[in-house]
A and B are shown apart, each in its own frame.
Chain A
Amino acid sequence: MNWLWEHLWGLWILFWLLALVILLLSPFESLGWWSGWNRRGEKPLDEPASGEPREGTFVVYLTGVAGFSGEFLSRRERGFLDRLRERLPDAVIVSDVFPFSATNNPLDGDRLLRALWVWLHHWRLKVPNNVFDLLIIMRNMAQTLVSADPRYGPVYNRGVARQLALALKRAGYARGPVNLVAYSGGAQIAIGAAPYLKEALGCPLRLVSLGGVMTDDPGIRAVDELVDFKGTRDHVMPALGWLLFPGRWRALWFSPWNRARSRMRWECSGAMAHIGGRDYFSQKATGPDGRCHGDISADLVAGVVGVSPF
């Protein structure tokens, strides 16, 4: 313990230096894609749907900043999606898009630091919420900032929108409204990608967020309806978007966010926290009526998504 106190300042400086390096390097993945450096074997967007084309309710789930890949979702998130499928049996739910990469390249995909991310992920599976988990979260938060940045955002968000459109087409999307269900930082990515997704598919867009961290991204103009569910124990993370992005402040009435307020709805989801045992997907924590948080969240989201058209 003495060693820790003696080196606290050093560790603190090391943490900020590491954060700075991650932030400085974060735009390069999307910029590299845009420049064509890592554009290998990309499918054209206008390729016909691989499955049987269908209409109906399409839901795309975007995970939060702790996400690792489109294929891997935590057990609680998978439980939530299973519950959502039970409530929306006719809906197509797409969950294989990793929102923190412009090319849907998972952290264990073809990338320079693959070994590091895989090692961290293995640690995370063995010891949940360990300190190294922070590196994955910091990396994904940096990508969220890239999405919100007016300089890098258009490139990044166009890439993500392209991946969303491709995933929808793989699932057989022909036409109709698209529902983006996002958790935490995934909500910002959804807003950023919205104009490009709308341009690619020509569809109405609805965003349903659970504890969404959203910035003043002008992409909000393309969202036809925003429903944000927030738990009464979820104080810090959703407030970050408001704190760091002045366009969310009411005083700036001319900002895209404030102009879109008529299309937004905020609802309380109960005594839910952002992370931990009482989060939005918890299967153990229960509400006053005995339903677990995962059930409550699925009911709320299905209640919104099930109402079509919007």
Chain B
Amino acid sequence: MFVTSALLWAVSLWLVLPLSLSRCLALVALAHTPLLLGFLTLVPHFGSYMLHVLRAWVLFDLVVAVGVTTGVPLVSAVLSCLPGWLLHFWLTHLRLVRLERLQSWLWRKLT
């Protein structure tokens, strides 16, 4: 789920920016570096907030990366990153799409 939504984020960037898909994938992957601290989300209570902080950090990183790579102004960088981030957030956090069922079904079939 997470990887899928991150890939979609890269695709959404590729659609709006004059960059190659591989470059967009690299930018999204690089922006996710703060998630190396993801183990902190295991901390009771504070971990739930830490997850939001890390996600905001990822968005910030991508905005900066897009700005530096393409030279577009800040507002344009934010606007190009935001739709993908919202999709990413929607898929992984709000869980409005019940992909867990598909995952469970796939797991049952494969194991």
Q: Which residues of A contact B (CB under 8 A)?
A: 20, 23-24, 26-27, 142, 145-146, 148-152, 215, 244-245
Q: Does B1 contact A (CB under 8 A)?
A: no
Whether B48 lies near A145 (C-beta < 8 A) is no
Interchain nearest-CB distance for A233 vs B (Å): 27
Q: Does B45 contact A (CB under 8 A)?
A: yes
A150 and B51 CA atoms in complex are apart in Å by 14
Q: Does B105 contact A (CB under 8 A)?
A: no
Q: Which residues of B contact A (CB under 8 A)?
A: 39, 42-48
A94 and B18 CA atoms in complex are apart in Å by 71
A150 and B48 CA atoms in complex are apart in Å by 9
Q: Which residue of A lies closest to B43 (CB)?
A: A23
Q: Which residue of B lies closest to A146 (CB)?
A: B44
Contacts of B44 in A (CB 8 A): 23, 26-27, 142, 145-146, 148-149, 152
Whether B42 lies near A24 (C-beta < 8 A) is yes
Interchain nearest-CB distance for B97 vs A (Å): 21
Interchain nearest-CB distance for B65 vs A (Å): 29
Majority secondary structure, B binding face: helix
Contacts of A24 in B (CB 8 A): 39, 42-43
Whether A20 lies near B45 (C-beta < 8 A) is no
Whether B42 lies near A145 (C-beta < 8 A) is no
A149 and B42 CA atoms in complex are apart in Å by 10
Whether A145 lies near B45 (C-beta < 8 A) is yes
Contacts of B42 in A (CB 8 A): 24, 27
Contacts of B47 in A (CB 8 A): 149, 151
Whether B48 lies near A149 (C-beta < 8 A) is yes
A35 and B83 CA atoms in complex are apart in Å by 40
A244 and B48 CA atoms in complex are apart in Å by 12
Contacts of B48 in A (CB 8 A): 149-151
Could you jot down 9 A-B contacts, CB within 8 Å? A23-B44, A23-B46, A24-B39, A24-B43, A145-B45, A148-B44, A151-B47, A152-B44, A245-B45
Interchain nearest-CB distance for B32 vs A (Å): 22
Q: Which residue of A lies closest to B41 (CB)?
A: A151
A146 and B43 CA atoms in complex are apart in Å by 9
Contacts of B43 in A (CB 8 A): 20, 23-24, 145
Contacts of A148 in B (CB 8 A): 44-45
Whether B39 lies near A145 (C-beta < 8 A) is no
Contacts of A27 in B (CB 8 A): 42, 44
A146 and B46 CA atoms in complex are apart in Å by 10
Interchain nearest-CB distance for A247 vs B (Å): 12
Contacts of A23 in B (CB 8 A): 43-44, 46
Q: Which residue of A lies closest to B39 (CB)?
A: A24
A149 and B44 CA atoms in complex are apart in Å by 6
Contacts A145-B45, A152-B44 known; 7 new A-B pairs at CB < 8 A: A23-B43, A27-B44, A142-B44, A148-B45, A149-B45, A149-B48, A245-B45
Whether A244 lies near B39 (C-beta < 8 A) is no
A23 and B39 CA atoms in complex are apart in Å by 12
Contacts of B45 in A (CB 8 A): 145, 148-149, 215, 244-245
A145 and B47 CA atoms in complex are apart in Å by 10
A150 and B46 CA atoms in complex are apart in Å by 11
A149 and B48 CA atoms in complex are apart in Å by 8
Contacts of B46 in A (CB 8 A): 23, 145
A148 and B47 CA atoms in complex are apart in Å by 12
